[in-house]
Structure 1
Amino acid sequence: MSVAVLSVFMLVKTTPEWLGFSVEERFDLMRTQMEPILQKHSAEVSMRFFDIEFYSARVTDLWWWEASSHHAYELLVEELRETPFWDRYFKVVEILPGVENAYAKNYGQRQLLAS
């Protein structure tokens, strides 16, 4: 993927329907329904998956998307919405888009260094 212009933190919560599947069935559904979409858009959008259920009751997972453009992200989401992963297997609780280090770029400043 080219340089990320947009990061999106999508907070999701598993549904009872998803949890009713065996672990093997869940992975099969991800591989057959979600993975082809991720592969199709992989040149412009990447995804990282974080488990949160250990620490939060409101959401169970965080899907971190990085996209080379807003349009690339929008195209992926349009396709994802046509699958049961959007609001059937997982409830989309909140979508938080962000631009990394925009505060520094917008003011012509060097970004803060991480220690």
Structure 2
Amino acid sequence: MTPVSDPAITVFMLVKTSPEWLGFPVERRFALFTEQFKPILKKHESVVSLRFFDVEFYSTRVTDIWMWDAKDHESYQLLVEDLRETPFWDRYFDIVEILPGVENAYARNYNRVPINA
């Protein structure tokens, strides 16, 4: 998935795998991603991009973080509407928390150069 350049919003979606998901063989999990998840990513690829982070090694509350970059709020909202129509939303994965943010907003709001390492 091609990154969205200069996204208006980045959303960190904290999710936890369900026992149902973990009960599937690995091959089936990848097939489900291909069948149900990838078409949604393809549909929104010009306005929303996704990065996956595995955190189950370090956290018990969440197992993964899905980081969405969106061109605008509406693009993100339409993506979520599509995801909610699939078992990936609160069946295969529990949506634990959604944390929206704007990268370097503090600097933009004060017309300053962002502080980055």
Unaligned runs of 5+ in 2: none
Between the aligned partners of 1:20 and 1:47, the Cα distance in structure 2 is: 25
Partner of 1:34: 37
Aligned to 2:23: 20
User: Any stretches of 5+ residues in structure 1 without a counterpart?
Assistant: none
Q: Deviations over 1:26-61 (max 9, x none)?
A: 000000000000010000000000110000000000
TM-score (norm 2): 0.95
Matched to 1:6, the amino acid is I
Compute the displacement of 1:3 (Å).
Answer: 2.6
Amino acid at match of 2:103: E
Identity %: 65
Residue of structure 2 aligned with 1:46, choices 25, 49, 56:
49
Distance 2:21 2:14 in 1: 16
State TM-score, norm by structure 1: 0.97
**What's the RMSD between the two structures over aligned residues?**
0.7
Aligned residue number for residue 97 of structure 1? 100
Once the two structures are TM-superposed, the CA of residue 99 in structure 1 deviates from its matched residue by 0.1
Any idea what SS the aligned residue of 2:58 has? coil
Q: How big is the shift at 1:66?
A: 0.2
Q: Specify which of 56, 67, 79 is matched with residue 59 of structure 2.
A: 56
Q: Does 1:71 align with 2:74?
A: yes
Partner letter of residue 52 of structure 1? Answer: V
Separation in 2 of the partners of 1:29 and 1:113? 38
Matched length:
114
* Runs of 4+, deviation exceeding 4 Å: none
Give distance in 2, aligned partners of 1:30 and 1:65.
16
